[in-house]
Amino acid sequence: MKPYHAPAWLPGGHAQTIWPKLIRQAPIKLRRERWDTPDGDFIDVDWVDGPPRSSLLVLFHGLEGSSASHYALSTAHACRKAGWRLALPHFRGCSGELNRRPRAYHSGDAEEIDWILHHLHTAHGGRPLHAAGVSLGGNALLKWAGERGAAAGELVTGVAALCAPLDLAACGHHLARGFNRVYTQYFLKTLKAVSAARLRQFPGLFDEARMLAAINLHQFDDAVTAPVHGFAGADDYWQRASAKPWLKSIAIPAVAVNPKNDPFLPATYLPSAADVSPQVRLEQPAGGGHVGFVSGTFPGNLDWLPQRLLHFFLYETS
């Protein structure tokens, strides 16, 4: 498959990040399942159905994403056309309903990834499935693959990550500067609303005043994400949850696609061949933005990302 090249009519990482949200896609009907978790909570999984023994792709969404995210919709259309089944799990609190337990989700949530993949593996008749993740979901998936090593191959044929924030400290601090603060405020709006609702369920879970006063992701993660999920603070969370240190331990086919103009992660922090195992393929195109990958003539389409996923799992994991 040809490497990604951004169209000349859509220059720059910010435009390539924002424009995909404005591209209209046909609606697609998804079937929802609710799974009870081992700790008494639940997650919702949206499905594109297909023949029982057809390939199954699982796609983990990004921060505050869902099955309605533009990349999820384009992947759903591509899977339906290809005759694949698609599972779109929602991290806790991202499916439109508050979860039952105090925990939510975070960038290094390999434990949740593992539980979901085991559940899907069983539902898929014990056959390996294809696993992909976007942004936060890609970071958590790569970290899971690195932690599990060769054992990951018992569940999946390989892993693909698109625009994973592999170095969370670099990403978090970069999003606090310049125009990037627009993205930060976009995330904080929903993160704070959901966190406030969770605090009403579980009084004293974290410091509400610090949460409301947060103006960047470091302050929010220090006030909410870290204490809720057992980290000493934002710095501890960002260090321990980053996937980059785990890339050398991945023992199954993997691809990490990170545009060099991604506004979320400066190119200077992207991994090199020396940072990864021989099983990991690094693709770092000049353009693409953050989960943009617009292609074609104006107004563009969102075909490249799902086609990259299908091509990887069809031809690059055997």
Rounded Cα gap, residues 111 and 81, in angstroms: 32
* Per-residue pLDDT at 129: 96
Orientation angle between helical segments 70-82 and 304-315, nearest 10 degrees: 50
Residue at 3 is within a domain: no
Find the CATH number of the domain harbouring 33: 3.40.50.1820
Do residues 159 and 189 both lie within one domain? Answer: no
Q: Where does a domain end: 197, 222, 241?
A: 241
Centroid of chain to Cα 259: 15
* Per-residue pLDDT at 318: 81
Do residues 211 and 300 both lie within one domain? Answer: no
Q: Which of 67, 69, 107, 135 is catalytic?
A: 135
48: domain range?
13-167+243-315
- Is 275 noted as a catalytic residue in this protein? no
Do residues 115 and 249 both lie within one domain? Answer: yes
Q: Which of 74, 167, 262, 295 is catalytic?
A: 262
User: CB–CB of 262/12 below 8 Å?
Assistant: no
Residue at 152 is within a domain: yes
Do residues 276 and 202 both lie within one domain? Answer: no
**114-138 burial code (b ≥16 CB/10 A, e <16):** bbbbebbbeebeeebbbbbbbbbbb
Residue at 87 is within a domain: yes
pLDDT tens column, 118-133: 999 999 999 999 999 9
pLDDT tens column, 32-76: 999 999 999 999 999 999 998 899 999 999 999 999 999 999 999
Q: Which of 77, 109, 290, 295 is catalytic?
A: 290
What DSSP letter does each residue of 227-248 carry, written as one string? Answer: HHTT-SSHHHHHHHH-SGGGGG
* Per-residue pLDDT at 125: 92
- Is 14 noted as a catalytic residue in this protein? no
Do residues 210 and 250 both lie within one domain? Answer: no
Do residues 227 and 183 both lie within one domain? Answer: yes
**Domains of the chain: total:** 2
CA gyration radius, the chain: 18
- Is 69 noted as a catalytic residue in this protein? no
Q: Where does a domain end: 241, 257, 285?
A: 241
**45-76 burial code (b ≥16 CB/10 A, e <16):** bbbbebeeeebbbbbbbbbbbbbebbbbbbbb
Do residues 133 and 160 both lie within one domain? Answer: yes
Residue at 6 is within a domain: no
Which segments in the chain show pLDDT lower than 50? none
Do residues 70 and 143 both lie within one domain? Answer: yes
Do residues 183 and 61 both lie within one domain? Answer: no
